[in-house]
Amino acid sequence: AQSVTQLGSHVSVSEGALVLLRCNYSSSVPPYLFWYVQYPNQGLQLLLKYTSAATLVKGINGFEAEFKKSETSFHLTKPSAHMSDAAEYFCAVSEDFGNEKLTFGTGTRLTIIP
Amino acid sequence: DAGVTQSPTHLIKTRGQQVTLRCSPKSGHDTVSWYQQALGQGPQFIFQYYEEEERQRGNFPDRFSGHQFPNYSSELNVNALLLGDSALYLCASSLATGAPNSPLHFGNGTRLTVT
């Protein structure tokens, strides 16, 4: 069975500082990995996805993530935090590409300090 | 272009009752997946419908059932409600033939409270 672990349920960064949200995966087959963002009282929005085409994946809103097989990690980063980045972030894995059955982590709440 | 719409937005039910939640997929999408998101947790996959049939199912009891209509809209039914069924229920749609480039589009969810 596949799973993802998000380290840190809450992360606070100052506006303009680097954002780093951690995700480690467990998978017996090459994983397909995703990062989603959820704003209050809203559904989830896809930030980016890893499909084995490139290890460094660029997403929307200036976010990117790097797939590191040796570390079984897929951490999400953004060079400079903006107030509008405050939200809940979820890492997810699927068995195969195009499979909508996603397994999500427990989420990381990102707070931006003015 | 309408996205995924869910109704109702909020619902309060009593233990033992039954509930039906509704979802209209994004225009052009033909596949609907349902997720349960308990407070403070990540979403958990319930099941997926395509061509009016359940195609995949997560680890949920038979009290959770669904349906997909010819217009691709979907319903999630939960019988004999338990307090633990209180959660945000998310519907997501996609285009089966569009995979692997077709991402999931999520609705804003239905907040179910069981008292």
Write out pLDDT tens, residues A25-38.
Answer: 998 777 889 999 99
Residue of A nearest to B98 (CA): A98
What is the average pLDDT across A6-33?
Answer: 92
Around B85, how many Cα atoms within 13 Å sit in the side-chain half-sphere? 27
Partner-chain contact A101 B108, CB within 8 Å: no
The span from the CA of B27 to the CA of B44, in Å, is 24
Q: Flag if B99 and A103 touch (Cβ within 8 Å).
A: no
A111 Cβ contact list (under 8 Å, min separation 6): A10, A11, A12, A13, A86
Neighbours of B112 (CB within 10 A): 21
**Residue of chain B whose Cα is closest to the Cα of A91:** B42
Q: What is the pLDDT of residues B19-63, one digit of tens each?
A: 999 999 999 899 999 999 999 899 999 999 999 999 989 999 999
